[in-house]
A and B are shown apart, each in its own frame.
Chain A
């Protein structure tokens, strides 16, 4: 298992759509999705509930047939290949362990189907159980394991098949917070070691950021943006992405000018040069996105901006600022005992332009 699988597992989704029909009801769960996933890449599908993440994953696995579009794995169109013939293995949210088989039999299940010899199976299963810290648990039945152990068995069962593509559907959402972080690290470590192309569905942005080479942000069946975690966080392509990944203040501004990748905008009574989306033109309306962590508040008597509320969280302090009617969020990530601002303090508002971004204007969807 320590040898790398061949650097295949290159997956191409070409204009894939999936329409569910229930009587006269038509749900376009996946809408014209195109995506290239490189061999060995860890990619995350991220988005709110119902945006089509699971459906996309099940299309890749073959549990659903696309209504239109192509699916190409290593130059081979697999859109009509039944799921059991696809070189992929899926890890399910509910673990989906076989309750009537013990841990060893669960992991060995797929190998038996490959008609491997018994001693080879035993060896392969032992290795993967050791790798997953499950040594000695082979005889247990799934119901005798903790949630974390069950999850690891599910992972072992998929990994032992040496698939070209590993598929994960929110595999950690049934674990408690601490275990989730631990398993996150483990999954990433294993995936990098084995170099298996992995597609991971989650609606937890922190999970997505910490695991992925690239993140695919989905909304209503469409792809909003594909990019590295840094790109997604600091250079969101749309209001939706900016809003979904972390928190942000959005200030309506007019673009005063463009200089290469940056735009000049006026905010809080001053001009700033801020990185901006390539499609933004001078003179147009736009949004200035500022992450709360990038806001700077300095006490200033006579300023029209005032602290509205202060929430002390230990490692940080969250402020709500009333800037002449519009509300802003700010987070001080290095609070000192002396500089915590109390409610009602008048403050001057500023921000770090290099970590902010200017987004194209769009009608804000009502919340």
Chain B
């Protein structure tokens, strides 16, 4: 038994070895995951499990203040998970099952957060609904205190519900309408059908969305920094420990405490809940779903969805207009001062640096994502599910955790004995002014979206198409380039778009890594918001959004030309 298994393993190595392209692909991926994820993560864990750090655990778990911070974090995760899922469901349900006008607009509003920089929603919320807010104070005369749990919940829900929306919309579309019809045929009312058929079928999807939102909410750094007030969560506490107190032990220990719920929930979501799903989302609509006809329900849902859509529009409208006014909320004199600062003045370095680094990271992340997806779906080798899992860590790990790992791993050279394996990659004195660590972080954060898109796309493509290519004499690399990549081009495009948007807008993973030679825009936005220069912050946000949109447009133009493959496979963004 053991010998057979050993022989099989040997055969596998022989096979991988004889196909050098597979070998190279695997090596690249393993090296990337090792250097960019495993190594920094293990550094961080190393620091957090030393004798010194033990005292921190004792202190944190016995201190009511820190217990409060932990509870705040969990509470925020739960509430945002709940509200975000509900809002996502509302938008998705209206999109798929209710026949009302302005659905395109609602869809657009629901997708806005993907390209939105952090701070945009929070800052706009402050000038609209804060103490001197346009709506709260100017309109209703209320001096409302937005800072704290309530404000955070609202802003995070509006910023994160997109995940639930896309997830649930896919499921609702994939739901076989003949089930509904069968139930209706048996005499069930619409409400009864919804309660006994639609909802139960969607429960795994709903649970999945909830858990994903939980993970994102507890990892979020930008909003607690701006809107938290006295309400501290683990992510913002980690930031203070590193940036304010320069206490790497505190940062690492708090990171581990944040890591535990994040990773647990992520694993539960990925390996348990999402497997319970009875609906397979193929990207092809399952048929024409039955629409809601009851006018009260229909227009009630419409009003509710429209309210939130308009709220989102108001927020992004404020982000847009705010950049052109002296000080939104107080002085509405039109000005181009803020744009001058960002585009021509002191702020322009961050804009250029971030864009350059994102442009470098995007193709790397795009190709790596497709490569990992291809290896995971198509190639049978021991450890492929481990590769899949580790690549997903890029998004499952809270950004601050990754950031500390990078700080620890790349600020100094990586040595084994006297041999330097890696020179320092992060920090102002590192090669290329620390840009390499930043680009690596961007890639790590972007790869998972590409992998998921690639996996979904590959699973829909008949493997014999690739086998046909091999059978005709092509090796793995040629097959990947000439057959696989053209067929999964829509997923590749999705991966690229996400990568660029993610890189441009990411904060938590890179905020510790920015240097005088490699400034990042999101960190600059934080500075401006902190200093109360909202106009500059809005100008940054506008430029960021516009740049992301331009690059997406270019990507569509370059990569998404017309062969009809997208249509044939029913895969699209």
Contacts and interface: CB of A to CB of B under 8 A. Distances in A.
Contacts, number: 85
Contacts of A329: none
B487 A113 contact: no
Interface stretch (B50-58, B263-271, B468-476, B506-514): B468-476
Interface in A68-91: 80, 82-85, 88-90
B340 interface: no
Contacts of B468: 90, 92, 96-98, 154, 157
A328 interface: no
A83 to B, nearest CB: 5
Contacts of A110: 472-474
A96 B465 contact: yes
B472 A113 contact: yes
Interface stretch (B107-115, B169-177, B414-422, B561-569): B561-569
B18 A96 contact: no
Interface stretch (B7-15, B311-319, B354-362, B535-543): B7-15
A113 B487 CA distance: 19
A114 interface: yes
Given A83-B470, A110-B473, A21 B14 contact: no
A99 B571 CA distance: 14
A19 B4 contact: yes
A61 B471 contact: yes
Contacts of A19: 4
A316 interface: no
29 contacts: A21-B5, A63-B470, A67-B7, A67-B8, A80-B18, A82-B19, A83-B467, A83-B470, A84-B471, A84-B472, A85-B473, A90-B467, A90-B468, A92-B464, A92-B467, A96-B462, A97-B465, A97-B468, A99-B569, A100-B486, A100-B565, A109-B472, A109-B482, A110-B473, A113-B473, A114-B473, A143-B568, A158-B471, A161-B472
B273 to A, nearest CB: 22
B166 to A, nearest CB: 26
B483 interface: yes
Nearest to A19: B4
Contacts of B290: none
Given A94-B462, A98-B468, A21 B473 contact: no
Interface string A141-176: 101000000000010011001000001000000000
Nearest to B472: A110
B478 interface: yes
A90 B568 contact: no
Nearest to B466: A96
Interface of A: 19, 21, 61, 63, 65, 67, 80, 82-85, 88-90, 92-94, 96-100, 109-110, 113-114, 141, 143, 154, 157-158, 161, 167
B436 to A, nearest CB: 36
Interface in B1-49: 4-5, 7-8, 11, 14-15, 18-19
Contacts of B563: 100
Nearest to B467: A63
A337 B487 CA distance: 61
A113 B11 contact: no
A276 B464 CA distance: 44
Nearest to B475: A84
Given A19-B4, A82-B18, A99 B565 contact: yes
A347 B468 CA distance: 57
A90 B471 contact: yes
Contacts of A89: 471-472
Interface residues of B, number: 31
A84 B471 CA distance: 5
A110 B483 CA distance: 12
Contacts of A161: 472-473
Interface string B531-573: 0000000000000000000000000000000011100110000
Contacts of B475: 82, 84
Contacts of B487: 99-100
A45 to B, nearest CB: 17
A158 B472 CA distance: 7
Interface in B477-507: 478, 482-483, 486-487
A189 to B, nearest CB: 23
Contact of A99 (B8, B472, B568): B568
A285 B465 CA distance: 52
Contacts of B471: 61, 83-84, 88-90, 158, 167
B478 A113 contact: yes
A83 B470 CA distance: 6
A83 B476 CA distance: 10
B495 to A, nearest CB: 18
A65 B381 CA distance: 13
B570 to A, nearest CB: 12
Contacts of B470: 63, 83-84
Contact of A94 (B464, B474, B483): B464
B364 to A, nearest CB: 24
Contact of A98 (B465, B478, B564, B569): B465
B149 to A, nearest CB: 46
B549 to A, nearest CB: 28
B483 A84 contact: no
Contacts of A158: 471-472
Nearest to B479: A84
Contacts of B14: 80
Q: Which 7 A-B pairs have the closest CB atoms?
A: A110-B472, A96-B464, A96-B468, A92-B464, A90-B471, A113-B473, A100-B486
Which of A61, A83, A99, A141 is most buried by chain B, counting CB atoms within 10 A of its CB?
Answer: A99
A67 B4 contact: yes
B426 to A, nearest CB: 41
* Residue of B5, B19, B472, B473 most packed against chain A (CB within 10 A): B472
A167 B473 CA distance: 14
Nearest to A83: B470
Interface in B347-382: none
A113 B474 contact: yes
Contacts of A167: 471
A56 to B, nearest CB: 15
Contacts of B486: 100
Contacts of A97: 465, 468
Contact of A96 (B15, B467, B569): B467
Interface centre among A63, A89, A113 (most CB of B within 10 A): A113
Contacts of A82: 15, 18-19, 475
Interface string B192-218: 000000000000000000000000000
B330 to A, nearest CB: 57
Interface string B444-469: 00000000000000000010110111
A99 B468 CA distance: 12
Contacts of B565: 99-100
Identify the interface centre among B465, B469, B471: most chain A CB within 10 Å of its CB: B471
A89 B464 CA distance: 12
Contacts of B472: 84, 89, 109-110, 113, 157-158, 161
A84 B482 CA distance: 15
B15 A65 contact: yes
B11 A84 contact: no
A90 to B, nearest CB: 4
Contacts of A100: 483, 486-487, 563, 565
B311 to A, nearest CB: 43
Contacts of B478: 113
Nearest to B473: A113
Contacts of A143: 564, 568
Contacts of A114: 473
B572 to A, nearest CB: 16
Given A65-B15, A90-B471, 7 more contacts: A19-B4, A67-B7, A93-B464, A96-B465, A100-B565, A109-B472, A143-B564
Contacts of B464: 92-94, 96
A150 to B, nearest CB: 12
